[in-house]
């Protein structure tokens, strides 16, 4: 996997976040290169620019390397993208000073003169982003949107026309195109939030536009909900919580438990928060906050004081357009680290993903709780000779030993072994 970015005379070292992940994925794609090439060829001046959906900061780093003080605001829903952006600026000794960082719900400032955007996979979320722009951009502002050519069709151009202003696509270069849209200055209302019921659990679910399972229960989550673990759980993490469905139901089953919702998507965290309030899940008589909501890359920044006895996890198997199992690896390993001794990781996954191999390597045990033709529910228990395996310096070493002992492969690392 290359980390050397080289386009139109700009040379950068770019990595995904986290840097030490078990994947061969590159931090940028040809659509990033096309956009930068276009800016250089058109001799774009460093005006106030909004960068939207910049996966790991390739666009931000390029602009800051062209002009170190290029005025920027950067919008992303993904914490890994925000952290990747900061990581890549630092690696290339570029300043992040003055950059305004926004999630996809915070109001955009009014003085934007140029927008650079990557087309997201989720077109409902894209429409939401265009509507936000329509509320902030003066008439005539140029919005450049880059994507794989195969993702750009008549309906995408019509969607842009309807939600922001007229648009046309460039010729194809390296199988990508750049769409130029000129904002028409008409402000649009944001789309209404979607709300749906899970009658069998007596839960109401609200989903913001970039949240997994947009308008119905995911079939993996459904089998997980039918096969929740039994026990007297007091501290539960819903890891990769999406709208929070697993953690919400856990609170119904274990009213004495504190629930920690974590997701890479800021909109997911906001949805889980709204759903917690909507379903009135606080238990009378419990002291302190009964739920926390963390916008994070897995458990990377989870307080060390949180020592769950149960982690619920329906892991993602893609990141953006890339199919990958590195996030599942990271989730399983970080769960092992965080769990109390005797604590349980309860996982649902597509049968073909073979998560049992990963769990067996990390936990040294794995039980199949339930399965159907497509999905399997797996459970692994943390059994450690040491009561507190997480004491600072021993932690990493211990986790490495746990993984590498069972798999003496040259490429073994913190996150397991490459396939
Ligand atoms: C398959 S969905 C499961 C959502 C929900 N738990 C359910 O069962 O319906 C996986 C979730 O993991 C989240 N995710 C992806 N990468 C992540 C990361 N690095 N850290 C935390 N969450 C992540 C996604 O945003 C998504 O909400």
Atom of ligand 1 nearest to the CA of 297: 20
Residue located nearest, by CA, to atom 3 of ligand 1: 314
Per-position DSSP letters for 113-154, written without gaps between them: -EEEEEPPS-HHHHHHHHHHHHHHPPTT-EEEEEEEGGG--H
Q: What is the pTM of this model?
A: 0.92
User: Is the Cβ–Cβ distance between 379 and 369 less than 8 Å?
Assistant: yes
- Render pLDDT for 259-277 as a digit per residue (tens, 0 to 9): 999 999 999 999 999 999 9
Distance 154 CA to ligand 1 centre (A): 31
Residue located nearest, by CA, to atom 10 of ligand 1: 316
**Same CATH topology for 4-182 and 194-406?**
yes
The pLDDT score that the predictor gives to residue 283 is 94
Distance 316 CA to ligand 1 centre (A): 5
Mutation choice for ligand 1 from 16, 260, 316, CB with most ligand atoms inside 8 A: 316
The pLDDT score that the predictor gives to residue 385 is 59
Geometric angle at alpha carbon 247, from 235 and 379, rounded to 5°: 70
Distance 315 CA to ligand 1 centre (A): 6
pLDDT beyond 80 at 392: no
Distance 212 CA to ligand 1 centre (A): 7
User: Is the Cβ–Cβ distance between 318 and 121 less than 8 Å?
Assistant: no
Residue located nearest, by CA, to atom 11 of ligand 1: 240
Helix axes 154-163, 123-136, angle to 10 degrees: 30
**Distance from C-alpha of 214 to C-alpha of 354, rounded to nearest angstrom:** 26
Per-domain boundaries in the chain:
4-182, 194-406
Atom of ligand 1 nearest to the CA of 217: 9
Assign domain 194-406 to its CATH architecture. Answer: 3-Layer(aba) Sandwich (3.40)
Residue located nearest, by CA, to atom 12 of ligand 1: 240
Q: Which of 158, 415, 60, 125 is nearest to 266 (CA)?
A: 125
Domain spanning 4-182: which superfamily? Vaccinia Virus protein VP39 (3.40.50.150)
Residue located nearest, by CA, to atom 24 of ligand 1: 240
Mean of the pLDDT values across residues 207-229? 95
Per-position DSSP letters for 244-298, written without gaps between them: SHHHHHHHHH-TT-EEEEEESBHHHHHHHHHHHHHTT-PPTT--S-SEEEEESST
Coil, strand, or helix at residue 7? strand
Mean of the pLDDT values across residues 137-141? 97
DSSP 8-class letter at 374: S
Token digits of residue 333: 């390993």
Residue located nearest, by CA, to atom 1 of ligand 1: 316
The pLDDT score that the predictor gives to residue 418 is 35
Of 377 and 408, the one with more pLDDT: 377
Atom of ligand 1 nearest to the CA of 80: 19
The pLDDT score that the predictor gives to residue 309 is 97
Report which secondary-structure segment, H or E, holds 203: strand 203-207
- Chain centroid offset of residue 384 CA: 30
């Amino acid at each position: 996997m290359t980390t050397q970015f080289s386009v139109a005379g700009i040379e950068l070292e770019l990595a995904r976040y986290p840097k030490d992940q078990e994947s061969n994925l590159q931090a940028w794609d040809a659509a990033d290169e096309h956009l930068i090439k276009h800016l250089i060829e058109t001799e774009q001046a460093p005006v106030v620019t909004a960068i939207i959906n910049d996966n790991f900061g390739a666009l931000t780093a390029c602009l800051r390397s062209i002009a170190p003080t290029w005025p920027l605001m950067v919008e992303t829903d993904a914490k890994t993208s925000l952290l990747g952006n900061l990581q890549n600026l630092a690696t290339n000794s570029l300043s992040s000073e003055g950059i305004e960082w926004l999630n996809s719900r915070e109001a955009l400032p009014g003085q934007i003169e140029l927008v650079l955007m990557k087309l997201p996979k989720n077109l409902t979320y894209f429409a939401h982003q265009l509507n936000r722009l329509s509320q902030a951009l003066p008439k005539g502002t140029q919005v450049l949107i880059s994507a794989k050519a195969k993702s750009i069709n008549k309906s995408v151009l019509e969607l842009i026309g309807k939600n922001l202003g007229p648009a046309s696509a460039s010729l194809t270069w390296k199988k990508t195109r750049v769409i130029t849209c000129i904002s028409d200055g008409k402000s649009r209302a944001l789309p209404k939030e979607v709300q749906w019921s899970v009658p069998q659990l007596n839960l109401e679910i609200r989903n913001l536009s970039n949240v997994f399972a947009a308008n119905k229960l995911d079939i993996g989550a459904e089998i997980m909900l039918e096969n929740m673990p039994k026990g007297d759980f007091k501290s539960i993490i819903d890891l990769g919580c999406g709208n929070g469905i697993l953690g919400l139901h856990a609170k119904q089953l274990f009213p004495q438990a504190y629930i920690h919702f974590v997701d890479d998507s800021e909109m997911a965290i906001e949805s889980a928060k709204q759903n917690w309030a909507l379903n009135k899940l606080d238990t009378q008589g419990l002291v302190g906050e009964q739920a926390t909501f963390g916008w994070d890359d897995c458990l990377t920044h989870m307080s060390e004081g949180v020592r769950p006895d149960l982690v619920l996890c329906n892991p993602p198997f893609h990141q953006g357009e890339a199919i990958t199992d590195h996030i599942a690896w990271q989730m399983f390993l970080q769960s092992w680290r965080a769990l109390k001794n005797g604590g349980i990781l309860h996982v649902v996954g597509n049968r073909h993903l073979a998560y049992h191999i990963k769990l067996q390597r990390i936990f040294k045990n794995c039980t199949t709780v339930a399965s159907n033709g497509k999905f399997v529910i797996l459970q692994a228990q943390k059994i450690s000779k040491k009561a507190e395996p997480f004491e600072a310096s021993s932690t990493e070493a211990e986790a490495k030993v746990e993984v590498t002992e069972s798999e003496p492969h040259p490429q073994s690392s913190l996150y397991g072994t490459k396939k």
